[in-house]
Amino acid sequence: MLKIKTNINTSIILICLIFTLSSCYDNNIYFDINSQCVVSCNKKVIENLHIISKDNKDFYFFSKLPKLNGTNSFNLVEINHSYSLENMNREISIDSFRLRPETEYEIVNSTFGDAASSKILIKTDQNGKVAYSNIKACK
């Protein structure tokens, strides 16, 4: 009887583990320098994106607005108006977003809360355009 209970418990645990692993998406992203876009590797809509300057002067948070279509390729030059923007926990106009020249930023995708967030490092040139990314393609 004890062996049957152990087998049943083991089976239940394995089934739960399989459902958990198969139902998760990941938050992996990369930066396409040519298009100036943060791109989702799983092709799912980016819902939550943090952009933090390494000198801690900028803390941007983009969040997809309810009932609007987001994108899986988030352009940092022409911002999609399906998102709201906060800086230092205060909502600001999405049209006011600009990356500062010659600054390093960390971009964090936390769209899927049950998956580890994904981080990339970017650096801007003298015009504020992204000239470097540590991740330029999906793994």
Q: What is the pLDDT of residues 12-53, one digit of tens each?
A: 665 644 544 444 578 889 999 999 999 999 899 999 999 999
List 123's β-bridge partners, or say none: 104, 132
Q: Report how many domains make up the chain.
A: 1
**H/E stretch holding 11:** helix 2-23
- Is residue 5 in a domain? no
The model's pLDDT over 59-108, given as tens digits with 9 standing for 90+, comes to 999 999 999 999 999 999 999 999 999 998 899 999 999 999 999 999 99
The model's pLDDT over 109-130, given as tens digits with 9 standing for 90+, comes to 987 777 677 899 999 999 999 9
- Is residue 127 in a domain? yes
- Is residue 7 in a domain? no
Report the C-alpha gap between 86 and 90 in whole angstroms. Answer: 5
Quote the domain boundaries for residue 114: 26-133
**Residue 139: what pLDDT?**
80
- Is residue 72 in a domain? yes
The pTM for the full model equals 0.80
- Is residue 19 in a domain? no
